[in-house]
Amino acid sequence: MFKQVMHKISSIVMAFVVLFSTMSFTVDMHYCGGVLVDTAIFHKVKSCGMDMQKPSTEGCSKVKKNCCSDEQIVLDSQDELQLNIDKITLEQRVFIASFVYSYITLFEGLDTDISLFEEYDPPVVIRQLYKIDETYLI
């Protein structure tokens, strides 16, 4: 029972490891005046509505600057999942084989109906110690 539960748990954990190692995603952040307004994962971030489409000029000396900025963090995934067995040395192969064998035999239990004392005779009692010390249970 324990062995089956451990196998199920380890297979679920390994599935999540493969899933998260191959998944890439993007985090979009919108800042308005240096303050974080909105954060989005997997989709475009919502604007605060104060964005300027084109910086306009009033006269020759003044230029209005945009107070909003967008930042994007991209977390790339692992593209290659194949293990090159040609690069594994003999010592590494021996280690992997011994690790797998010891892991498999780790969960094998002993039979419960084995009696370890069938082949041995009980010791010969020369004196009864409770009579010598005169201690009796009442």
pLDDT number for residue 111: 64
pLDDT number for residue 61: 44
Q: What value does the mean pLDDT of the chain take?
A: 78
**Closest C-alpha among 114, 42, 103, 39 to residue 71:** 39
Residue 113 scores a pLDDT above 90: no
- d(Cα 97, Cα 92) in Å, to the nearest integer? 9
Q: In the chain, what percentage of residues exceed pLDDT 70?
A: 76
- The distance from CA 9 to its chain's CA centroid, rounded to whole angstroms, is 11
pTM: 0.38
Beta strands in the chain (DSSP E): 25-32, 35-41, 57-58, 62-63, 68-75
pLDDT tens digits along 59-110: 444 445 678 888 888 877 766 666 666 788 899 999 999 999 998 888 777 6
Residue 57 scores a pLDDT above 50: no
Which pLDDT band, with edges at 50, 70 and 90, does 35 fall under? confident
